[in-house]
Structure 1
Amino acid sequence: MENNAELSSRQINIIYLLFLNFFLLLQDPNSRQKKREAKMKLKIYIVDAFTSTRFQGNPGAVVPLTQPLDDAVMQKVATEMNLSETGFVRPLEGDGNDTWHTCSLYSLRWFTPKQEIPLCGHDTLATAHVIFHHLGHRGDKIQFQTLSGILEVGRDGDDGVMIFPSNIPTPLTEAEQKELSQVVKWATSGLKVHQVLISHTLKYLLIHLDDSHTRSDLESLKPDFGAMERSHDGSKVKGVIVSVVGDGDPYHVFSRFFAPWYGVNEDPVTGSAHTVLGPYWAEKLAREDLYFRQCGRRGGDVKVRIRDDGRIDLIGPSVTVLEGHLSI
């Protein structure tokens, strides 16, 4: 009888535990899913760069980090965001709650939906905007450690002022002309070309359209992105800048930028492209201060100032359109 009573007691305990577990599942049917959800939440911002008007300029995502994040995770985030670039910024000085307020040197990396890239202007501007206007930085100048070296960004009123390397393009060799002729053909769709140059540092092709062409011709241009990508493997060129001279009222030069090899058919406003455009057109127009308009569906404005130290200033405003959290 004692053995039967003991067995009965054990059975009752088992039934009770099963019932309790079942009851908890009924109370929270998503409990197992919640356990699988993110163990980390990160801040994320989307900022429209090179514009003071929301939904214009170039949108860039900015993810502030307090510790290193795995490369594969950063790439997944950039693919998920599906913007031309997502930047990941991390303080390299100081610690504690005051870090973002006082740190002057940050690590900054940029990812397209396909891969990491060595230089990105608009997302650098967007990142500086976030640090200055959302994370409470007290100074007027910060530096970023990047794949392109140390980049400095200051603020001048509502504008960010980026000091970038000057990537002076060179004319194509005969071999390069032959190899890249189809890229030029599909990028310009029959428009007359004055000159083609290349920045080997950035792997950008710079096409100067004939001066008979206008802003309207450039805006109406419809490149064949699939044909561009098929005609070249991306070993020498990963982006194509098409430009035409303006009348200086107020724009000196108009441009568009195409990068199907990076998974970005057309970038709305490309800071890095202006490190190529700036020195080329400064020499052509014999002036050190230029005002560029990158055309396209959104479009934006970039002021370029040629410096005496072999670098250039890229200047423009930014505006925040989204602030939230990202689950990892």
Structure 2
Amino acid sequence: MIVDAYVVDAFTDQPFAGNPAGVVLLDEPADSTWMQHVAAEFNHSETAFVVVGGPADEAKPLRWFTPTTEVDLCGHATLATAHVLGGEQRFDTRSGELGCSVRDDGMIELDFPAQPCSASEETEVLPALGQRAEEHVDHLARSEFDLIVQLSDASLVRQLRPDMSALADVPGRGITVTARGDRDGVDVVSRFFAPAVGVPEDPVTGSAHCALAPWWADRIGRTELFAEQASPRGGFVRMSLRGDRVALAGHAVTVLGGELSAGAGAPLAR
């Protein structure tokens, strides 16, 4: 069996920046083990599998896999999928129905659930972040998926060199480290580490901004925010808090398109 597959750089308008995602188009649902093997072969932080063979008026089934596990929500691979398919899209996912549309400025906007945060006392994680991060923590909090560490200055976020083996022991999906923006037009700076799910540092994490949007909206006093994820590749996310939903917007660039050979006897569901 042969299916169409792509690599798309998300949350950037330049190739080889932002966050690369695999996108695999399926005519019918696929076996989970097969999808996990494909995601490991692609070896990007996320690979999206979307079923495009169903009725045009129904939400398309969409699943996301890291190289080691399936996850409940992924922003950049959803953006990449919407970029490949074009136009307005609705996806049926483990996090409910998600919508995507193209804005007048050419950005793709994702309609995602907001993730309010609650205070945390998990200070044991701080030494693993390095750079004496424990001396510069303003807040610790928990979202649905991740631990959030707010530092006092964006330069500290940019300079972090964490101990990934120690971070892998932190409960949950990953750790978002964030601070108030330090450049003109940038409200929020963050980085995201998820070694527990096979992603040491994610270049740009759309789903993490589902928590960063309400977190920083409360502190900055605005619901429209511009965020930079300060990974080595870097990328930018426009965030709009809309009640219990967050609109995440960004550009995307296709860098590779081709055919994926599933191989003889590929375990596709029937």
Q: Which residue of 1 aligns with 2:149?
A: 207
Aligned equivalent of 1:303, options 215, 238, 257: 238
Q: CA deviation at 1:246?
A: 1.4
Describe the superposition over 1:58-95 as per-residue Cα deviations: whole angstroms up to 9, x where unpaired. Answer: 0000000001211110000000110000000003642x
Tell me, in whole angstroms, the C-alpha distance in 2 between the residues paired with 1:152 and 1:166.
14
Q: Which residue of 1 aligns with 2:139?
A: 195
SS of 2:204's equivalent in the other structure is coil
SS of 2:149's equivalent in the other structure is strand
Q: Which residue of 2 aligns with 1:152?
A: 99
Root-mean-square deviation (CA), in Å? 1.4
| Contact kept? 1:92, 1:103, Cα under 8 Å | no
Q: Does 1:165 align with 2:113?
A: yes
Q: Which amino acid aligns with 1:193?
A: V
Describe the superposition over 1:235-263 as per-residue Cα deviations: whole angstroms up to 9, x where unpaired. Answer: x3220000111146110011000000011
Tell me, in whole angstroms, the C-alpha distance in 2 between the residues paired with 1:304 and 1:57.
16
Q: Which residue of 1 aligns with 2:158?
A: 219
Instruction: Rate the CA distance shift 1:265–1:109 in 2: closer, same or farther, 3 A.
Output: same
Aligned equivalent of 1:119, options 73, 95, 107: 73
Q: Which has the higher strand share?
A: 2
Aligned equivalent of 1:77, options 28, 34, 38: 38
Describe the superposition over 1:98-128 as per-residue Cα deviations: whole angstroms up to 9, x where unpaired. Answer: xxxx455200000000000000000000000
Q: Which amino acid aligns with 1:142?
A: Q
Tell me, in whole angstroms, the C-alpha distance in 1 between the residues paired with 2:47 and 2:125.
27
SS of 1:127's equivalent in the other structure is helix
Tell me, in whole angstroms, the C-alpha distance in 2 between the residues paired with 1:79 and 1:190.
34
Tell me, in whole angstroms, the C-alpha distance in 1 between the residues paired with 2:209 and 2:221.
16
Tell me, in whole angstroms, the C-alpha distance in 2 between the residues paired with 1:92 and 1:303.
31
SS of 2:217's equivalent in the other structure is helix
Aligned equivalent of 1:319, options 233, 242, 253: 253
4+ residue segments displaced more than 3 Å: none
| Contact kept? 2:27, 2:53, Cα under 8 Å | no
Q: Does 1:128 align with 2:82?
A: yes
Tell me, in whole angstroms, the C-alpha distance in 2 between the residues paired with 1:258 and 1:187.
10
Q: Which amino acid aligns with 1:72?
A: T
Q: Which residue of 2 aligns with 1:57?
A: 18
Unaligned runs of 5+ in 1: 1-39, 95-101, 133-139
Tell me, in whole angstroms, the C-alpha distance in 2 between the residues paired with 1:257 and 1:150.
25
Q: Which has the higher helix share?
A: 1
Tell me, in whole angstroms, the C-alpha distance in 2 between the residues paired with 1:190 and 1:259.
20
Unaligned runs of 5+ in 2: 263-270
Q: Which residue of 2 aligns with 1:29?
A: none
Aligned equivalent of 1:257, options 189, 192, 202: 192
Q: Which residue of 1 aligns with 2:48?
A: 87
Q: Which residue of 2 aligns with 1:6?
A: none
SS of 1:246's equivalent in the other structure is strand
Q: CA deviation at 1:214?
A: 3.2
Q: Which amino acid aligns with 2:107?
A: D
TM-score if structure 2 supplies the norm length?
0.92
Higher relative contact order, structure no. (Cα contacts within 8 Å, ≥ 6 residues apart): 2
Tell me, in whole angstroms, the C-alpha distance in 1 between the residues paired with 2:70 and 2:34.
12
Describe the superposition over 1:191-250 as per-residue Cα deviations: whole angstroms up to 9, x where unpaired. Answer: 211110001x22x0011002xx233x3222100001222xx3x5x322000011114611
Q: CA deviation at 1:55?
A: 0.3
Equivalences, count: 259
SS of 1:271's equivalent in the other structure is coil
Tell me, in whole angstroms, the C-alpha distance in 1 between the residues paired with 2:11 and 2:43.
19
Moved more, 113-122 or 184-193: 184-193
Aligned equivalent of 1:281, options 206, 216, 224: 216
